Homo-oligomer: A and B are copies of this chain.
Amino acid sequence: MSTGAEVVVNRLLAEGVDVCFANPGTSEMHFVAALDAAPAMRPVLCLFEGVATGAADGYARIAGRPAATLLHLGPGMANGLANLHNARRAFSPVVNVVGDHATYHQALDAPLESDIDALARWAHGSVHRPESAADLDAAVHAAVQSATSTPGRVATLILPADYSWGSEPQKPVRDNLVGQQGSSPDHTDTLDLAGAAELLRAQGERAVLLLGGAATGVGGLQAAARIRAATGARVLVETFPARLARGQGVPAIERLGYLAEQATQQLAGSTHLVLVGARSPVSFFAYPGKPSVLVPDGTEVRNLAIDELARLAGELGGQLPNTPQPDPVELPTGTLNPQNLAQVIAALLPENAIISDEANTSGVFLPAATASSPRHDVLTLTGGAIGQGLPVAVGAAIAAPDRPVIALQSDGSAAYTISALWTMAREHLDVTVVILNNHAYAILQLELLRVGTQADGERSRSLLDLSRPDIDFASIAEGFGVPATRAGTAQELADQFRAALAEPGPHLIDAALPTWSPG
């Protein structure tokens, strides 16, 4: 039995499309896996979607036939649009394969959800959205036919993840996925102050407050901590807050986990979920056989206005717990790894810093380590469209010239918008960039397992691997005018981080982590 992705790859090959310029993500992992069994298809990894689409254009102009691109949902398509515009003007045949969320996941407004069709139509091309997994073969045929009809155009096949997984129709794990608990605050009843107080008093730890938006500043976190102290209610922060206050004097409140497995555990046993500026939590992606909605069955979801949070804390009589100051993290030694890297950052983080956090997999130890650091703000990847960490650091540094900005940046995402370094140099912004360089799209190596593929072939692995050649970010930074160093040990990182913070203007540290592999 073929997966849907195998049907797509084989039909592309049958139609004469045997090169694929790829920048895949989780929703394209079955396509990646299908390449292992299709040696005739040449996958070419590009570090940014605009490279993939421009390469497909150049390929068509010389080969006289289309290549495929492999793009990751709407944001991936968006990054490829400008060169699709050039391809349209060249009348180049191009076949985009754009992964989409599983069909039943699309209504949940998960972070990467957007109107892919609108982007595909923008390039004046044809849009092919198969009706079912059984329709895939015909949809690929139609897309290639459209691309290669005279005088040539851009055809876009939108490939929902569940169609990729199997030829059999996929059912959501629960029938009540959509709408029941509501995917946005708009669809959920709002509590007033008295109602909220009553609910939290009655439910105690069976109630969960989920903080988002403006509720993740110091005031909101303190109010929530007082409510927790008064009622025993659980308190969580949304997975990817726009701006989160942290460090000394700020109540440490756990974030809802990125992995659905973690989030499910954090919400288990709740009877009520109270959203304070947050959305009702859904899984980032859909996974075969796993629920997309993270709210437990039977848990009721309510809203509470952010403005009510402090009043509610007063009403409930909660006092800010006098938690002992955690011990400062000590400077570690040894070859760099994600754990001691986090310890170095935490130990040396200056007062009032802003962290632009696009550390992704390599940043897993950061939250625990920095809880005892001086007061700081963390800006996270709110929409899942990678390549924001360096630009956000630019903006933060211009907004707050007196605060040190630290960009914790994974290697794969850094390549998207690397020219942000030049603006840091020109504007002499006080940004310290630490590249967490594990030479891989590590998160995709993890996701390849999580979506249940058996892929372990060289071809699929090659699309997740950023070595061959290794990227030397220090050299790139110097090219853009930013002084840069390389760190291979915790001591080196500490010395370089301290020096970068002490000197005004931008610096980059290329922190060599072990090449990531799952398990």
A binding-site residues for B, Cβ under 8 Å: 19, 21, 42, 44-48, 50-63, 67, 74-76, 78-79, 81-83, 85-92, 111, 114-115, 118-119, 121-122, 151, 213-214, 240, 242-243, 277, 354, 356, 377, 379, 381-385, 387-388, 390-396, 398-400, 403, 415-420, 422-423, 425-427, 468-481
Contact A62 B474 (CB under 8 A): no
Given known contacts A78-B82, A381-B86, A419 and B46 CB-to-CB distance under 8 angstroms: yes
Query: What B residues does A481 contact at CB under 8 A?
Result: 469-472
Interchain CA distance A415-B419 in the complex, whole Å? 7
Contact A394 B54 (CB under 8 A): yes
3 interchain residue pairs of minimum CB distance = A54-B391, A58-B395, A469-B481
Number of copies: 2
Question: In the complex, given contacts A54-B420, A83-B387, what are 19 additional A-B residue pairs having Cβ atoms less than 8 angstroms apart?
Answer: A19-B398, A21-B394, A21-B395, A44-B427, A55-B391, A57-B395, A58-B379, A58-B393, A58-B395, A62-B377, A62-B396, A78-B82, A79-B79, A91-B242, A92-B242, A114-B122, A151-B214, A415-B422, A418-B419
Q: How far is the CB of A290 from chain B (nearest CB, A)?
A: 23
Contact B122 A121 (CB under 8 A): no
A64 and chain B: residue at smallest CB distance: B399
Interchain CA distance A479-B19 in the complex, whole Å? 26
Query: What B residues does A468 contact at CB under 8 A?
Result: 426
Contact B78 A74 (CB under 8 A): no
A243 and chain B: residue at smallest CB distance: B61
Choice from B92, B383, B393 contacting A88 with Cβ under 8 Å? B383
Query: What B residues does A122 contact at CB under 8 A?
Result: 74, 78, 114-115, 118-119
Choice from B51, B81, B242, B479 contacting A61 with Cβ under 8 Å? B242
Given known contacts A67-B395, A479-B475, A425 and B55 CB-to-CB distance under 8 angstroms: no
Choice from B19, B55, B403 contacting A420 with Cβ under 8 Å? B55
Contact B476 A51 (CB under 8 A): no
Given known contacts A118-B122, A418-B418, A50 and B21 CB-to-CB distance under 8 angstroms: no
A61 and chain B: residue at smallest CB distance: B243
Contact A86 B473 (CB under 8 A): no
Query: What B residues does A56 contact at CB under 8 A?
Result: 395
Given known contacts A86-B382, A427-B44, A472-B478, A392 and B61 CB-to-CB distance under 8 angstroms: yes
Interchain CA distance A481-B58 in the complex, whole Å? 22
Choice from B48, B62, B119, B395 contacting A354 with Cβ under 8 Å? B62
Contact B395 A59 (CB under 8 A): yes
Query: What B residues does A75 contact at CB under 8 A?
Result: 81-82, 85
A119 and chain B: residue at smallest CB distance: B122
Q: How far is the CB of A150 from chain B (nearest CB, A)?
A: 9
Given known contacts A63-B400, A82-B387, A382-B86, A423 and B55 CB-to-CB distance under 8 angstroms: yes
Contact A390 B90 (CB under 8 A): no
Choice from B59, B382, B425 contacting A396 with Cβ under 8 Å? B59
